[in-house]
Every structure is written in C-alpha cells, then in structure tokens.
Structure 1
Amino acid sequence: MPKWLRKSLVILVTVITFGMVTPQVLSNNPNEANKQEKRNMIEALPLVAEATNHSPAALAERDAFIQEMVKQAESQAYLKFGAKIKPVIEDEFREIILPNIEKAIEEIALQFPEDDLSHLSVTEMPGGGQSEKIFHIMNQKTKQDVIRFHVRRDHPPQEGFTFNFHYHTVHDQFQLHHELGVIYWDKNTPPKWMS
C-alpha cells in the first residue's frame, strides 16, 4: 500500500471516529495474518452518521436518546452503589462523574445513524460484590457491547480507598481505560457493591 494512501486512511479513520480510534492497523508489517486482522478491525468500526443528516428532528431524536441513556445510567449507578455507598458519594457522582458519562454517550451516539440508535440499550443489571460493571450499552441487533462503564476500587499504599470510574469502548477491543473521574471514599474499606 502506498505510503500516502496509508497516511490518508489513518487520518480519515481518526477524523471519522472523532479521535477515539487512531488506527495503528495500517503499519508496514508484511505478515499476511496481520493484514487480515487489520481488515477485520477496520470493518468492525461502527458506521458513522452521514454529515448531511442534521435535520432538527434528527437532532432532537439524538438528544432524546442521549438523555434517556443518561437517565438509565444514573439509575443503574445508584442501584450498584446500594444503600450504604450511595448516600456518601451521590452528590460527587452527580457533579463529577455523570457529566463525563453523558459526554461519552454523546460521542458514541454520534457514531451511529439515527435509525441505529433505537437498537442501542443499557444492560439490565449492574455487577454486585467486587464486580466493576456499572452498565454496558449494547447493540441489540448484533448482541455486542458498544461501550462499558465500570468503577474500580483503588487503595494506594498509605492512602484511603477511592472509586475510579472509567469506560471501555469497542474501538480498542475494551482494552484501554478512558477515565471519567475518581471519588474518594475513606480510610476504611467500603462495603460491597449493591449492599
């Protein structure tokens, strides 16, 4: 593949996905297995909404979708926190984390045509106990997750416990942590989720 074409594809994919994906799949590796893997990764990228579809009705539908997802996200998060954790971190969650969740959902919503937004839904139940899962947004048509929202308990040495909120996307096969924020708990061990 000519160098100028490879660079153009990298720039195109980066722009289309709003920088969420920088395709390193177009490297100079001549290995045929890697070439097939690269093709598969590029084909797996979700369709991007056409730039010409910015009608007021389409924008209103997209905004309604985002607001509904954020409402469900908040509900799932409070369910995960349970009666013991929720009263302690609820205000910080609403001020710091929830706006960042909304931004992440907006970015995902922009990558789907309006017709496909109706196929995206929030998973039913957050993970309890020590699980990180708050909720996932999945494509009902393909039965695959699009974005996963998690919270991890961190306990750095000589410091108290914190809750690290982050998300993973399908673009990097859910490998990278995209930070949403951190909320301090206390020096004492927090109770299990959903307790």
Structure 2
Amino acid sequence: MKMWMRKALVALFTIATFGLVSPPAALMADKPTEHQSIKETGYTAVYQKREETKSDGEEASESSFDAYTDEMLNAAEDQSFAKFGNRISPVIEEEYRQDVLPKIEEIIVSHLMTLKDNDAYQDLVVSGKPTAGKSEKIFHVYNRKTGEDVLRFHVRRDKPPHEGYWFNFHYHTAEDGFQTHHDLGSIYWDQNTPPNWMSH
C-alpha cells in the first residue's frame, strides 16, 4: 500500500472514531515492500546473498562486491537529488524513493552482478554531473577505463493533453545503442509548469 494512502486511512480512522480507538496495527506497521531500497533491506529476493558456506576468500570477495555496490547506489541517489534541486525534490522525493529509485537500484545491481565473476564491476562508476535546465540526463553508469557509457538514466517532462505535467523516468542501455526507452515510472507534478532541473 502506498504511503500516502496509508496515512490517509489512519487519519480517516482517527476522525471516524474521534481518536478513541487506535488505528489497526496493519495500517501502522512499516512493512518493507518488494521494491524497497536495497540499501535499507539488503538485496531483493532476486539478489539475495548466497549461502553462508563460503570460503574466506569468497566472503572477502562478496564483502568487496557489496561495498562497491553500496557506493554505486549512494552515488546514484545523490545524483538524482542533485538533479531535482531544492524546488522539485520536496514535491516528488517520497514517491521517487518508493516507486522509482528501487527499480534503478535493481538495474544497477543486476548489471554489476553480470560482471562480478571477473571483478570487472569495479570498472563501472556513476557520472558526477546531472544536467540542469530542461535536459534529461540524471546520471550515466560508464566504464572508467574506456569512458564508454553502459547505462543512461534520464527523466523527461511530459504534458499529456488536459493532464498537467509528469516526470517520466526511464533508462537506455548500450546493448541497443541507447535507442530504446525502458520505462521506470512516472510521477505527477502539477498543472503548472515545473521549475528547471537543479533549481534552488
């Protein structure tokens, strides 16, 4: 259940009972969702850690991979909020963290996992400069040795007729020359034109 819906139900329950009865525990519980941030819950079911019957070398390698993954995910989150700026962040932060960021994290982790066996994952880094104004780039994941992009995470401003403005989050991959838009979700802004990216 979405956070805003849970809060609304708690408020309605409290009003309906004049505050004399506590809301049900199910509404108050803060259960992690399947797509909750990997940094908060560890890897999702798809990327759960392997059995604990590893040799010391395997455990050290796993620990190194986990640390590098956390570093990448922190950088991705930092670049996202740098892109949004102080004017957009407060409006979309909660929905972004709940619906979009976990998908971005899963894509990054999935890509790192494909390179884990030969330690090539350590060549990938998150770009450090989101673009301002109206341009789409949030951040790219690129190979620091070759300088070539591997994944590109973007956000586009959409304005369907009579619907107001939406932020469409998507990504592109090097596999098809960055041609296909892979959808990550959309967040509604308002009927009014949103400020430029990185506005403070």
TM-score (norm 2): 0.68
Letter of the 2:63 partner, please give it. A
| 4+ aligned runs moved over 6 Å, structure 1 | none
User: Which residue does 2:136 correspond to in 1?
Assistant: 132
1:119·1:141 contact (CA, 8 Å) conserved in 2? Answer: yes
User: Which residue does 2:127 correspond to in 1?
Assistant: 123
User: Which residue does 1:178 correspond to in 2?
Assistant: 182
Matching of residue 155 in structure 1 with residue 159 in structure 2: yes
Cα deviations across residues 146-167 of structure 1 (Å, max 9, x unaligned)?
A: 1010000110011011101111
User: Which residue does 2:113 correspond to in 1?
Assistant: 110
1:66·1:102 contact (CA, 8 Å) conserved in 2? Answer: no
CA RMSD of aligned residues (A): 1.4
1:146·1:170 contact (CA, 8 Å) conserved in 2? Answer: yes
Matching of residue 78 in structure 1 with residue 81 in structure 2: yes
User: Which residue does 2:172 correspond to in 1?
Assistant: 168
1:133·1:150 contact (CA, 8 Å) conserved in 2? Answer: yes
Cα deviations across residues 117-151 of structure 1 (Å, max 9, x unaligned)?
A: 22111111101101100000110111100101000
- Gapped regions of structure 2 (runs ≥ 5): 1-56
d(CA) in 2 for partners of 1:189 and 1:144?
A: 34
Aligned residues: 142
User: Which residue does 1:95 correspond to in 2?
Assistant: 98
- Gapped regions of structure 1 (runs ≥ 5): 1-53
Superposed, which structure 2 residues align to 1:28-107 within 5 Å? 55-107=58-110
1:80·1:127 contact (CA, 8 Å) conserved in 2? Answer: yes
1:100·1:180 contact (CA, 8 Å) conserved in 2? Answer: yes
Cα deviations across residues 100-127 of structure 1 (Å, max 9, x unaligned)?
A: 0111101110221352222111111101
1:138·1:146 contact (CA, 8 Å) conserved in 2? Answer: yes
Aligned-residue offset at 1:68: 1.3
d(CA) in 2 for partners of 1:93 and 1:118?
A: 27
d(CA) in 2 for partners of 1:161 and 1:143?
A: 34
Greater Cα shift, 60-69 or 124-133: 60-69
Letter of the 1:65 partner, please give it. Y
Aligned-residue offset at 1:90: 0.8
1:97·1:180 contact (CA, 8 Å) conserved in 2? Answer: yes
Question: Secondary structure of 2:193's partner?
Answer: coil
Aligned-residue offset at 1:180: 1.2
Letter of the 2:130 partner, please give it. P
d(CA) in 1 for partners of 2:62 and 2:173?
A: 23
